[in-house]
Amino acid sequence: QATCFPEPTVISSANSIGPTSFSERYTYVSTRDYTAFLSMSKALEFRENLGGQQAIYEYVNGLAMDAKQYLIDLWNVTAMAPDGMEDYMINIGLPKGIPDAEVGKALHDWLLDKHNMYMLVLYNKESEVFFTRLSAQVYLDLTDFVSLGE
């Protein structure tokens, strides 16, 4: 087939201007994008400026566990997984009162639109519990989770 639509949205040196075979058009998987390689040394330097891998792990893991305990106590909910199964990301139940996915989506949208906070609202069919998955990062601190909790 000489013409194939839709065209891939990737702009790269792998996609020539002229006609190519189907496989040549769709086998590009971003491995020829050198920007990640060019920024690697600065990314590693940034991590070292933060204290290195161990310091980053201790800070982010400690923040995740502190945030988890704070929100569990504040909302009077349970953890979805034990601490040993979570490092940088926590899963906790949401307060009772979310009757369906539509209200969960409204909560998600309200937090994003009014408070510039992104929080997934997920539903566990087995336990019939709405929960959220929150991620701790080096640029966050406990006050970010306190703001969410309020």
Q: Using 50, 70 and 90 to split pLDDT, how confident is the model at 1?
A: very low
Q: Count other Cβ atoms within 10 Å, centred on residue 44.
A: 10
- Topology (CATH level 3) of domain 53-149: Aspartate Aminotransferase, domain 1 (3.90.1150)
Taking only the tens place, the pLDDT of each residue in 108-149 is: 899 999 999 898 888 888 888 889 999 999 999 999 999 999
Q: Domain limits of the chain? A: 9-49, 53-149
Q: For helices 142-149 and 53-75, what crossing angle results, to 10°? A: 20
Predicted TM-score (pTM) of the model is 0.72
Measured in degrees and rounded to the nearest 5, phi and psi for residue 141 equal: -140, 180
Asked whether the beta carbons of 65 and 109 are under 8 A apart, the reply is: no
Q: Which is nearest to 110 in space by CA: 100, 96, 121, 99? A: 121
Q: Which letter, b or e, does each residue of 99-127 get, where b requires 16 or more Cβ atoms within 10 Å of its Cβ?
A: eeeeebeebbeebeeeeeeebebbeeeee
104 close to 111: Cβ distance less than 8 angstroms? no
Place of tokens 């009772």: 96
Contacts of 2 (CB under 8 A, 6+ apart): 19
pLDDT category at 100 given cuts 50, 70, 90 is: confident
8 A C-beta contact, residue 107 and residue 121: yes
Q: How far apart are CA 52 and CA 120, in angstroms?
A: 30
State pLDDT tens for residues 61-78. 999 999 999 999 999 998
User: Are the C-beta atoms of residues 74 and 149 closer than 8 Å to each other?
Assistant: yes
